Structure 1
């Protein structure tokens, strides 16, 4: 397939885009979690892009990624750095797992070699946006808290023609980062997000989320969160089918639409790979969409008013993955779910941008 000019096909919102990375520039980020100095993380930009990723599409639409996470592939065509960090049990040594080529799939062979003869866990999911929004597990030695890192080899898959590993989250696995000073929208600022997850590894435990959450890690009231929830949870009753559903965790409730009443446009997403999106303009409107990540376009599940009491939003700017906003200081996560890739963007993405991102996900070839 020829490479498309996404700048031409996406209707720009008029917001400024992030500058392109300078060829050959190297940025070194030192990651600190819970007062413990972790390994140095290095990102290197190649001279030219090899492909187009979801974050290139978002930037072309005027809504640049402020956090970009994946254990399976690069989310920028130029990204040539590390995707995640693993730690092996035999000697507690860590290793960053990168990509096979700029803009390409994860180097699963590097993980296999490093973890041979022992077990490994995923300690950090690295941020590809350049803003340092790396997600550490919510437990001792990570981001603090009571959880533990997820096993690194629970599920392998194919992306394109290459082997990769998912972030396979079971109870007591979750990840977190305070991104309030590193670009994640706060207050009533607009934002969007997406993730690729799985409709076959879910439960009704609280709360398999990805998105904006409390810096306090407490349930701080309506609008303190703005995160995608994918689960069989139905907080308010009247749910259609058995799930799992794409909903919005806005704190003090999971919303299938603009109120606690069940939204008739909601549906279950039971395919192996699922795309879920959420966008929120911070004051009046939010939208939820979902799709099979292997084929087809996004279905709009809700596009309308925010629930009563959530206008304006009061986002705090932390990032959570695999738990609710009030986890895991003294309590633990009981949800399960699978994370393959996802991003948070500044601004309110257009439908055309989100459709182009879905096409890119389908083209990536999840199998």
Structure 2
């Protein structure tokens, strides 16, 4: 292990436009800025710190961008397809992915660079950018952005992406750099290392300052971090830093929100800043704004772009133990101003992460625990039965089964805006849960108190399967049984009729 061996609603858009107008010295009126519909990389460019790498699986990061966002590869025939945007400056065309991946599974092989510098991220593994990792499942997590369904880049241990950008615009040496990403505080761990930013070109640990990447995880390497995480930190090589030293940064705080904005900027010689915020509402919290750690001034950036792993991962069997979620992010040349940071955050909030499909982005954040609508039976199509909570049990950990459809409370399921499948019995609401946060075939499907964790989030796919957001496995009737009482579990998706489900009807 690397660480072990190294010492659009008008109100929201208007608010963003006002900040953007102020950022460029009033050269644009608020009305003009609204008309321009500036996205994050337009805002960075206006502030004099242009994007040199810009990645997202959910939306365009330039108002004029109309190219591909990412590439998927399907398992049935290894064919690939590029997934673009619905229109210039808009969200990903998830319908194109759903059509291409229907009745099979897909992985994300490339995340394209929107900046024009060619810093496309390929997965670190055979057939990708080289190494031992594998590409991420393309349908592990769906979400809503700007009122439309999109998919995240859902990183589990053994998934990561990389590109050598040393000759394509990435900051080198002690050149100043800024970076941001939108990630999730509900799909995290302390493994090494969920990073996005500047890393080594040789994929080895090359010394202090060889990396300049955002880290988002529950790993507090030097101890003393506030709360239980996850935290926004700087991976500068040989350490995760929450501030300018190896001691506790009093300004550090955790960000367990469903959607999180994380920022790092570094002038390369004397100063860095860390910021974080809720990507659905509000502004940024400055976690650190001060000196670089001793021994890291000047920096020694090499210019590779890393996503989902640390600097010395995956070249020749190096372990990648991290997990995390990536929605969007960019690396910029220069040290962004605070006004630029604030304008980017306002734009992210206006994008409407976690809204309701078919509606504009919310003017205020949705509730963290959406109130479920009236429930409906969840049909096990192959068996002609329904997903059933035995005897309408209110005991946490009860394994779900199939049973004759009865219309009773123990068969009334609701797919909430947060992705949960909830069930209200005995006056209490429970969620369908992957037992013990299991990610291996055979994990029991149980009920548990709703907690918003990724093992309680489920994707209802166009091909009739229901997949766990954390595991990517399919909800499965054990042994393809059609008998009442047959247990339900998670299993590798195989196209079987016992993995076909329909909510309602």
Same-fold status (TM-score > 0.5): yes
Question: Is residue 134 of structure 1 aligned with residue 120 of structure 2?
Answer: yes
Q: Give the secondary-structure state (helix, strand or coil) at the position aligned to 2:348.
A: helix
Asked if the contact 1:174/1:321 (under 8 Å) is kept, the reply is yes
Shift of 1:135: 0.2
Gap runs ≥5 in structure 1: 13-48
TM-score under structure 2 normalisation? 0.65
Residue 41 (structure 1) aligns with: none
**With structure 1 as the length reference, what TM-score do the two structures score?**
0.89
Q: In the TM superposition, what whole-angstrom CA distance separates every residue of 1:341-367 from its partner, at most 9, and x where no partner exists?
A: 000000000000000000000000000
Secondary structure of the 2:99 match is: helix
Q: How far apart are the structure 2 equivalents of 1:11 and 1:290?
A: 23
**1: CA distance between counterparts of 2:214 and 2:347?**
20
Is 2:111 the partner of 1:125? yes
Deviations 1:10-34 (A, max 9, x none): 157xxxxxxxxxxxxxxxxxxxxxx
Greater relative contact order structure (CA < 8 Å, 6+ sep): 1
Indicate whether 1:248 and 2:234 are aligned: yes
Partner of 2:313: 327
Structure 1 Cα separation of the partners of residues 21 and 155 of structure 2: 38
Consecutive unaligned residues of structure 2, counting only runs of 5 or more, are 1-9, 26-34, 355-505
- Superposed, 1:124-163 pairs within 5 Å as 124-163=110-149
Does the Cα contact within 8 Å between 2:225 and 2:253 map onto a contact in 1? Answer: no
- Residue 209 of structure 2 is matched in structure 1 by 223
Query: Distance in 1 between the 2:318 and 2:339 partners?
Result: 41
Instruction: Measure the CA separation in 1 of the matches of 2:19 and 2:169.
Output: 24
The corresponding residue for 2:406 is none
* Residues 1:204 and 2:190 are matched in the alignment: yes
Moved more, 204-213 or 229-238: 229-238
Q: Distance in 2 between matches of 1:5 and 1:352?
A: 11
Given the alignment, which residue of 22, 29, 32 partners 1:9?
Answer: 22
C-alpha deviation, 1:8, in angstroms: 3.5
Give the corresponding residue for 1:262: 248
Residue-by-residue CA offset, 1:302-325 (whole Å, 9 max, x unaligned): 000000000000000000000000
Per-residue deviation, 1:9: 1.6
What CA distance in whole angstroms lies between the structure 2 residues aligned with 1:146 and 1:302? 35
Query: Out of 266, 272, 276, which is 1:280 matched to?
Result: 266
Task: Tell me, yes or no, if the aligned pair for 1:6 and 1:57 is still in contact at 8 Å.
Answer: no
Deviation at 1:5, TM superposition (A): 7.2
The CA distance in 2 between the partners of 1:352 and 1:365, in whole Å, is 21
Structure 1: 4+ residue segments shifted above 4 A: none
Write out per-residue CA displacement over residues 118-157 of structure 1, whole angstroms, 9 at most, x where no aligned residue.
0000000000001100000000000000000000000000
- The 8 Å contact of residues 20 and 340 in structure 2, kept in 1 or not, is answered as no
Q: What secondary structure sits across from 1:303 in the alignment?
A: strand
Larger radius of gyration: 2
2:339 maps to which residue? Answer: 352
| Mapped partners of 2:153, 2:334: distance in 1 | 27
For the 8 Å contact 1:178–1:317, the answer to whether it is kept is yes
